[in-house]
Each structure stands twice: as structure tokens, then as C-alpha cells.
Chain A
Amino acid sequence: MTKIKSTESFGKKLLKLVKNNPVPLMFVIICVICIPLSGYSAGYLIGEIITRIARNSFLIISLLIPIMAGMGLNFGMTLGAMAGEIGLILVSDWKVVGIPGVVLAMIISIPISVLLGWFCGKILNLAKGREMVTSYIISYFISGVYQLIVLYAMGPIIPIKHSSLVLPRGYGIRNTVNLLSMRQCLDNLLAIRIGSVRIPVVPFLIIAVLCFIVVWFKKTKLGQDMRAVGQDMEVARAAGIKVEETRIMSIIISTVLAGFGMVIYLQNMGTLNTYNSHTQIGMFCIAALLVGGASVDKASIGNVFLGVILFHLMFIVAPKAGMNLIGQAQLGEYFRVFVSYAVITVALVMYESKKRRANSLTGLKLAEDQEVAK
């Protein structure tokens, strides 16, 4: 009897697991199919994944705080990424190399991130209820301003000394900025090797510290206020919490973290695509977080790491699998772009339709009550 019950509950549990985590499971399936097709060795894949965890996690963690404050997926994290890029451009011009360069770039990004985050938060407070689409447009808008600064103001207004950075016409930054002097300086510091796999200890330590800070932050007064504001703005306001200020704070924190994350990301890449690096980063980070099982109103650190692993595994194997299967690498590349967008679409649709479904239950209960009363 008890045995039957336990198997039943196991089956139910499994069903619940599938029901609650359709997106991560779908990715597990894609990866399971694609890994053998790609023909990559396990060692290679593990090495790649470890590199990508070190490279991307920080950026993705920056998304957690606005979700906590009920502002949804912060498409405006791109703003922080741009601040980080400006920091790196200036640092490379000043020829500050290695770790001091990385740290300086982060420091420079802080005031820019704070300013942009404040602007973004202010605007999102004007567009309550449609924060996501607004933050998405803000990222395009600020991208225009960024181009204005980097393409026209750098040189004539903001002094750039080294011509290697500047476009041949005499002003504006070149399309790619070489970060050789800083390339992987964090990753290589204290790195250890296990077999063919290199483990970048310092980025992992930094990420661990950040995770600790996020957990700690949830326990602070500000963190508590953000959770309250995220769940019900009016109740929080009635209790005397400064709702607008709290929301702006969450965006500022997210933007500053995204700025740091971008510096870590780019020191690993070693080159900066001045006008492109930031445009896709928001989309990839959000897709990864959602793949990890997060939703628009709920996300945890666990979602971040699961997401990075699954999403990037798919990213690595898909082109090769496409190549081996149909003979076109291009196919796999388009496939992974499609999947990134599709994941975000599915997550958004699930979130919106869930909001509406909850309402239909009360009616059923009323009909039931009548039956009981009979």
C-alpha cells in the first residue's frame, strides 16, 4: 500500500517537474541530441563551459535584482554594458595594463552606470506595467547616445591620445578595440589546470563573492523593501516604503553590476567590438537566465548557473551539429539564434497567460459551493 503510494507520488513529482520546468528540460533534450552529433570531446566541452561560466555569469546575475523588485527582465542592462565599454576604451587609451586596467575600467564605469541607471529607473517609473518593452526601447535609445559619444565626441571633446584607437578620419573610435594588454588577465591569475581544462580561479572567486552579496542583499532592509515593492506597490506605499526610490535603486544596482560584468566579459574575449558588443549581450543574458528556469517574476542564482551551462552548451554544439548533419554550419548558427529568441518568447507568453489564468478559478469555486449547499 505504502509502496504504491510512493511510486504514485514519484510519478506525480516527475510530472510536476516537467510541468514546472518545460524550458530547461527542452534544452536538456536539445543538448543530448546535439552533443553526439557535434562530435566534440567531453574535455573540450567542459573546458568551454567553464570558460563561459566565468565569462557570463556576472552579467546574468545583474538581472536578478530588478526581477526581485518586480520590474521584470531588465533589457536596460545594456546600459551598464555600454558604461563598461566606455571604461575599457578610456583605460586602453591611457595604457593602463593588466589587472589595474581592469579595475580602473570598472571604477570608471560606476559613475556612468549610476547616471544611466538613474535615468532608466526614472523613465520606468513613468511606464509602470510595461517596464520590459520600455527598458528594451531605452537600450536602443541609449545605444544611439553611446554612438554619438564614441563615434563623434571621442577625439574632439573627450581626448583620445593614441591614434591606434581612432578612426583614420581623426575622430571616433575604431570598430574594434584591441584589449590585448588586459586579455584574460583575470582568468590567468592563479589559474589552475586539471588535465586539459583550465580553471580561471579569480573570476570564479569574484562570482562567488557576488553570489554571496546577492544572498546577503536579500536580507537587508533595502532587499526586503524591494521584494515588497515587487509584489505589491500599493501595499508597500501604504506601509511607508518609498516605492519609486526603491525601484530606481534596483535598476541602478543592476546597471552597475552589468558594467562590471561587461568588463569581465570583455577581458576574457580580448577584443571590444565598439559598436556591436553590447547590442546582443542583453538578449543572450536574458535567454540564458530563462533557459535556467527563471521567469519574469522569479529568478534565483541556481537559475543563473543552470542557464549558463545549458544555453552555452547548445550554443557550442549547435553549429557543429548542423555542419555534421546537413553540411551547413550556418544552419546551426541560425538555429541557435532562433532558439534564443524562441525561449524568451515562450517565457514571456507563459508569464502573461499565467497572470490571466488565475482569474478563472473563482467562478468554479462558486458553482461548487452551490452544489454543496444543495
Chain B
Amino acid sequence: MGNEAAPLLEMRNVSKEFFGNKVLSDINFTMKKGEVIGLVGENGAGKSTLMKILFGMDVIKATGGYGGDVLIDGQKVIFNTPFDAINAGIGMVHQEFSLIPGFTATENILLNREPQKHHFLSEIFGERLNLLDRPEMSRQSEAAIKKLGVEIDPDMMINQMPVGHKQFTEIARELSKTGTRILILDEPTAVLTEHEAEALLAAIKRLSEQGIAIIFITHRLHEILTVCDQVLVMRDGLIVKDVPAGETNVAQIAKWMVGRDVKSDADESREKAAHLLKEEGKPVVMSIKRLWVDMPGETVRDVSLDVNDGEILGIGGLAGQGKLGIPNGVMGLYPAGGHVVFNGKEIKLNSPRECLDADLAFVSEDRRGVGLLLDETLEWNIAFPAMQIHSKFLKKRLGGLVKWRDDKAIANVTKKYVDMLEIKCTNTKQDAKELSGGNQQKVCLAKAFALEPKFLFVSEPTRGIDVGAKALVLQSLKKFNRESGVTVVMISSELEELRQTCDRVAIIANGVVSGILPATAPSEDFGLLMVGHKAEEASNE
């Protein structure tokens, strides 16, 4: 490598902070013309932030820029907007489709870059009245599709296409841009069928032969081994491994992804083991059978799962695999099908009220959208479900005809939870929207605790909150479980958090349970489950 000229792309000591939180540090790598780099890592490892820096996304600049240098052809570059990056020959295909549904493939490939014909009216009224040069558009889009080497109909409407063709259209758009030399593909195969994914991998190889360098982000590790020259593994904002793809295997990569030095707290693990022992043989309190949930971006396909009485069960997995869909489906927030039996009684799906009446409770991952009444007081937020479900905090008036809100009782219960969970607020009548993320999360927990449930779903309880609040939230969940005997199912993207808090951890991949392990199992086993290897395979490897 040393005898060659400057590499196509080089990152030197790149780092990034969000509001004092270091999310990337000391990123160094180089990339040659036509090289395919596989970028893997858990959610939150820093992959997308790194790509945002490379693509000049506005959010990076808005949050104070980044440290270190990005070099292209040995020249230092600074991209202020994605358009700068595009001009420098970088193309990015995002996870979510950015296509106009009622346009043809051709129109989408050349969106806002259509070849145009001048005529006398546009001379007078300006460029925007130029006519589109349709034949030239067809020619350019066909050229781009050919370069990609796949079969898509350039005149087909996007909304009539299968998902794979939409993905190809997106890639063809990047290729049609003049001088695209580096292509970033962010989980392009996640939505594809097996067959389509193969076609895409073939296309990646072909593009690399044509000299286009590709950064390929995926969770399907075998794909990386198939097409990539080099593998970059990221963890906690660092590149932990940079190896040629030929010198490694799936199990190793999975281990690098998740394996970190766990502080082994001897006492805690002993306590946990004891608890686990105690729980074994406990009756199943909730049994989920063949559940499907239509939650956009978190589709659950076919989940069957038993939850034991009094345990803390963790549900983990990578983003978009369906772990969040499970509580949302059971609790009736998204359309769902299948069977859920709680305490021997079948729970009707798609009916939040039935679940709540059966003493289930749910702390949603979407604090602002589902969890809180942002424009109302803390008192309302905490007391509302308990008031509606169990008719608490009400005074009967006119012989029980009128159920009057007892504001005093509400204030008291709010005060109790504010003290218990150390919620920082000016007073209990403060609006929920004025609190910080961590305190809002505590309010959501208080709301669930106030229901005094027998069973609690907690979804992403630590997402986006600071370290101190995190510890307190997890601690109080544990306490709630141990002291009140409430069964808790905790869903989280952070495996370590699950392993520390839970008794058992189930991993969801591609909408199904790929395995359940005791929390004490080594993290690389979880890593393999996350990338979709079934439990048996994991134990074999």
C-alpha cells in the first residue's frame, strides 16, 4: 500500500462529540479505488455518525463539527452540506427509501438533475421553464442501470415495484451522478429477499471492478465475507478491528462487535445466579404464541415466548429486527395477531384497555409520542392511567353519579414518586415537556408504577438519557421487580444493560426469536444470535 499514491479516502483521528458525549474517537482508516469495505457494529457503535461526517450531513455541523481530518486523494476536504460531498464523488444510499412513489425509475434516478432543453420562453421566464429532455433522461438512466448490472424497467412507477427494485433504483441514482467514486450503502439488504440480496451483492462486485469504492454497512455478516475486501468492526465509537475479510469468520466478527470487558461484579453475579435458580421451576405467567405485529420499521413476524413469574426477561436485538414490536403489539398499540395468555387467561389483542385491566403495564420507548402528555402537568402524567383504569384518585359526588378528580390525592401520589425516583422538577405542576429526557423517562416509569401492575413491559428505558439517570432507572426497575414481585420484560438495544439487569435475555432477529440465553452467557453467543444465527448453530460454532 505504501508504494501507491495517496489513497482514495483516508480518515485521520476523526472524532465527534454530541453535547459532551464522545460518540466517535480516534477513527483511522484508508480506502483504495475499487475497494469494498464492510462496516459492522452494534446500534450506537458510531457507524451512522461516521457516515454522516463523511457525507457532510447538516446535523454534524449543527452540533459543533468533528475533530480530525477527512482526506480524498490525499487532499483535506470539509463538507458543509451533502451537496459538497456529492460534488466530491460520494454517493450515499440511506436505509429509508428516498424515492417519489408516483414517478418512474427514470424520473427518480434523475430527480432534480434532469437534462433539459432551452427554448425561447425559458430565456424570458427563467431556467425552470426549460422542457425536460425525455430521450436523454432515458439514455442516462439506462446507462446507470446498466452500470449496476441489474434488470429494472426504467419506465415502471416506483409504487408498483418490488422492494428490491426500489433499492436498485436508489443505487442507480447515485451511480448516475457524474463522478461518483465512493458509494455508501447503509443496510441495503435489510429489506431484500434472499434472491434480491444476491443480485445486489453481485452488483457490488461489478461496481468494484469498475473502480468504485464501496462502504457496505450490514448486519448480515456472511454478506460481508462474500463481497468485502476489508472489514471494519466498530464498538463504542472506536474501530476495534480492521482486518482483511479473508482472515476472519462470522463468529469472530460477532464477538468483536459485542465483546467488551464486562466488569464482573462478583456479588451481583452470585445474587443473580441465586435468583435465577430460585426462578427456575416458577410457573409461566405469560405465554406468547405466534405473534405478528405490524409496527412500521419493527415488524414482528412470528414470535413465541414464555415469561416466567417474577423474573426480569430481557429482549434484545439489533434495530429494526422487531424487538420493539413485541410489547407494542401485545399492549394493543399496533395491529397484531396471534395469541397471548396471561395468568391462564387469553388476552384480547388490539385492545389496550383489556391489557391494562389484566394488570399489565407498558413504558413505551416513544416517550414524547406515546409516553407523555407533554402539555400537561407531571401530576396528570403520573396519575392518568391509574385514574382511568382503576378509578383511583377520584371522589364520588352526588351519590356516586359524578366521579370528581381528586387533585389533592394526585398531588400526593406525584410527590411520592418524585421523591422515590428523584425526579428533578420545580414542582409537581410543571409541564412534562419542560423536563430533561432522563426525568421524563422517570415520569413514564412512575406512571406505570402508579398502576401497581403485576406485569410490566419496559421498552428502551435508557434511550437518550444521561449516565446517572440510567443507573437510577435500572436500579428502580430491579427494585420494583424484587420487592413487589412484579414480572418485568425489558426491551433494550444495549446488550450489556440487559445482561446486567435481567435474568434471561431473548434475542430477536428478523422478526422471530433467534434464541434465549441466561444473562450470564458469554456476550459473543448473544452476538451470533443478533446477526441471525439460530441457537443451535451458535452452540455448534
Contact = CB atoms under 8 A, between A and B. Distances in A.
Establish whether A and B are touching in the complex (CB under 8 Å): yes
Interface in B259-314: 290, 292-294, 299, 301-302
Contact of B128 (A219, A222, A239, A363): A222
B131 interface: yes
Contacts of A373: 302
A224 to B, nearest CB: 6
B103 A220 contact: no
Interface stretch (B110-118, B367-375, B392-400, B485-493): B110-118
B301 A363 contact: no
A231 B128 contact: no
Nearest to A360: B335
A228 interface: yes
B98 A235 contact: yes
Contacts of B131: 216, 219-221
Interface residues of A, number: 26
A221 B116 CA distance: 8
B49 interface: no
B100 A232 contact: yes
A348 B111 CA distance: 31
A10 to B, nearest CB: 24
A314 B92 CA distance: 56
Nearest to A241: B112
Contact of A367 (B82, B116, B132, B337): B337
A260 to B, nearest CB: 17
A240 B130 CA distance: 17
Contacts of B127: 221
B302 A220 contact: no
Contacts of A222: 128-129
A41 interface: no
B64 interface: no
Interface residues of B, number: 30
A6 B298 CA distance: 44
B128 A221 contact: yes
B340 to A, nearest CB: 15
A235 B129 contact: no
A231 B129 contact: no
A222 B130 CA distance: 8
A225 B302 CA distance: 42
Interface in B428-455: none
A224 B114 contact: yes
B112 A235 contact: no
B129 A220 contact: yes
A232 B101 contact: yes
B244 interface: no
A228 B132 CA distance: 14
Most buried by B among A225, A228, A234: A228
A331 B25 CA distance: 79
A225 B128 contact: yes
Given A221-B114, A235-B98, A366 B129 contact: no
B302 A370 contact: yes
A362 B294 contact: yes
B472 to A, nearest CB: 37
A367 B338 CA distance: 9
Contact of A239 (B101, B111, B302): B111
A236 interface: yes
A1 interface: no
A367 B128 CA distance: 48
A227 interface: yes
Contact of A370 (B98, B122, B290, B294): B290
- The 6 A-B pairs with the shortest beta carbon distances in the complex, nearest first, are A363-B335, A222-B128, A363-B294, A239-B112, A366-B292, A239-B111
19 contacts: A219-B132, A220-B128, A220-B129, A221-B130, A228-B100, A228-B103, A231-B100, A232-B100, A235-B99, A236-B100, A236-B111, A239-B112, A362-B335, A363-B294, A366-B292, A366-B337, A369-B292, A370-B290, A370-B302
